[in-house]
């Protein structure tokens, strides 16, 4: 499959099953633009993400394989979904660069750093 580059950043991400992983990334604001059994291409403004089928993922070294910025409500929704499965899971934290962050796992087990800008203060 040839990929037309229409976004600012192109990310190739290995996954065990692209069609199973795609809905996770759709929750993060991506839209599927093409798919076949070996890969799913998703886009959101500024990023094109290609989920590529692999038989085995490389060993997890603890670092996120991808970082995605979303609105705070999306970050909160992802964390609340995870915390329903594991109630003791710590929630989003404030990162040194001044964003909230949460580290989730996609259906293949890839670590995903999800960040959200701080909400704008209400000004009367």
- Tell me, yes or no, whether 81 lies in a domain: yes
pTM (global) more than 0.75? yes
Say if 124 falls within a structural domain: no
Residue 35 lies in a domain: yes
Let me know if residue 58 belongs to a domain: yes
19-39 burial, b for 16+ CB within 10 Å, e for fewer?
bebbebbeebbbebeeeeeeb
Domain at 62, CATH number: 3.10.180.10
Helix (H) or strand (E) segment spanning residue 72: helix 72-85
Instruction: Decide if 102 is inside a domain.
Output: yes
Torsion of the alpha carbons at 9, 92, 97 and 103, rounded to the nearest 10 = -40
Task: Give me the number of domains the chain comprises.
Answer: 1
Q: Is residue 86 domain-resident?
A: yes
Note the pLDDT of residue 1: 45
**What is residue 110's three-state secondary structure?**
coil
Mean pLDDT of the chain: 89
pLDDT, position 2: 45
CA distance 22 to 53: 12
Which pLDDT score is estimated for 50? 97
Residue 84 CA to residue 73 CA, distance in Å, equals: 16
In a domain, 2, yes or no: no
Q: Is the pLDDT of residue 39 over 60?
A: yes
65-104: pLDDT as tens digits: 999 999 999 999 999 888 877 877 788 999 998 899 999 9
Query: Residue 114's Cα: distance from chain center in Å?
Result: 6
Host domain of residue 85: 9-117
| pLDDT band, very low/low/confident/very high, at 40 (cuts 50, 70, 90) | very high
Is 4 part of any domain? no
Q: Taking 70 as the threshold, does the pLDDT of residue 4 lie above it?
A: no
- Return the pLDDT at 85: 78
Residue 63 has pLDDT above 50, yes or no: yes
């Amino acid at each position: 499959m040839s990929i037309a580059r229409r976004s600012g950043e192109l990310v190739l991400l290995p996954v065990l099953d692209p069609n199973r992983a795609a809905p996770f990334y759709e929750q993060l604001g991506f839209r599927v633009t093409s798919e076949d059994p070996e890969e799913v291409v998703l886009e959101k403004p500024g990023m094109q993400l290609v989920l590529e089928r692999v038989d085995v993922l490389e060993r997890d070294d603890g670092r996120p394989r991808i970082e995605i910025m979303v609105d705070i409500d999306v970050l909160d929704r992802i964390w609340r979904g995870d915390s329903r499965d594991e109630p003791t899971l710590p929630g989003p934290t404030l990162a040194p660069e001044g964003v909230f962050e949460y580290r989730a796992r996609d259906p293949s087990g890839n670590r995903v750093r999800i960040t959200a800008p701080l909400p704008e203060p209400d000004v009367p």
